Chains A and B, each alone.
Chain A
Amino acid sequence: MLKHIFTLFTLVSVAIAANTYAQSDVQLEINIPRLTVAEYHKPYVAIWLEDTQRKATQIAIWYDFEMENHKGEEWLADLRQWWRRGGRKLALPVDGITGATKAPGTHLVTVDLASLLKQQPAGKYKLRIEAAREVGGRELIQLPITLPLNTKALPIKATGKRELGLITLSAVK
Chain B
Amino acid sequence: MPRKTSFSVAIAALTLLTITSAANAHRVWIKPSKTVLSGEKNYVTFDAAVSNTLFVPEHFPFRTDGIVATAPDGNQLSLENVAQGKYRSTFDLALTQEGTYRIGSSSAGIRAFWEDKEGKRKMWPPRRGKAKGDTFETAVPKNAKNLRVTYSSRKVETFVTLGQPTTKNLQPTNKGLELITLSHPNDLFATEAARFKFLIDGEPAVNAEIEIVPGAMRYRNAAESITLKTDNNGEFSIIWPNAGMYFLEASYKDNKAPAPATVRQGNYAATFEVLPL
Contact = CB atoms under 8 A, between A and B. Distances in A.
Interface of A: 69-71, 73-77, 80-81, 83-84, 87-89
B36 interface: yes
Contacts of B40: 69-70, 73
Contact of A81 (B42, B163, B164, B277): B277
Given A74-B42, A88-B163, A89-B164, A80 B276 contact: yes
Nearest to B163: A88
21 contacts: A69-B40, A70-B39, A70-B40, A71-B39, A73-B40, A74-B37, A74-B38, A74-B39, A74-B42, A77-B36, A77-B37, A77-B38, A80-B36, A80-B275, A81-B277, A84-B187, A84-B189, A87-B38, A88-B38, A88-B163, A89-B164
A87 B165 CA distance: 12
Interface in B1-51: 36-40, 42
Contacts of A70: 39-40
Contacts of A73: 38-40
Nearest to A75: B38
A77 B163 CA distance: 8
Interface in B29-86: 36-40, 42
Contacts of A71: 39
Contacts, number: 31
A77 B164 CA distance: 11
Nearest to A84: B187
Given A88-B163, A88-B164, A89-B164, A83 B38 contact: yes
Contacts of A74: 37-39, 42
Given A74-B42, A83-B36, A88-B164, 11 more contacts: A73-B38, A73-B39, A73-B40, A74-B37, A75-B38, A76-B38, A80-B36, A81-B277, A84-B189, A88-B38, A89-B164
A76 to B, nearest CB: 4
Nearest to B164: A88
A75 B34 CA distance: 12
Contacts of B37: 74, 77
Interface in B152-173: 163-165
A15 B38 CA distance: 33
A5 B154 CA distance: 54
Which residue, of A74, A76, A77, A89, has the highest number of chain B Cβ atoms within 10 A? A77
Contacts of B36: 77, 80, 83
Contacts of B42: 74
Interface in B123-177: 163-165
Nearest to B98: A88
A71 B42 CA distance: 9
Contacts of B277: 81
Contacts of B38: 73-77, 83, 87-88
B204 to A, nearest CB: 30
A70 B38 CA distance: 10
Contacts of B164: 88-89
B10 to A, nearest CB: 41
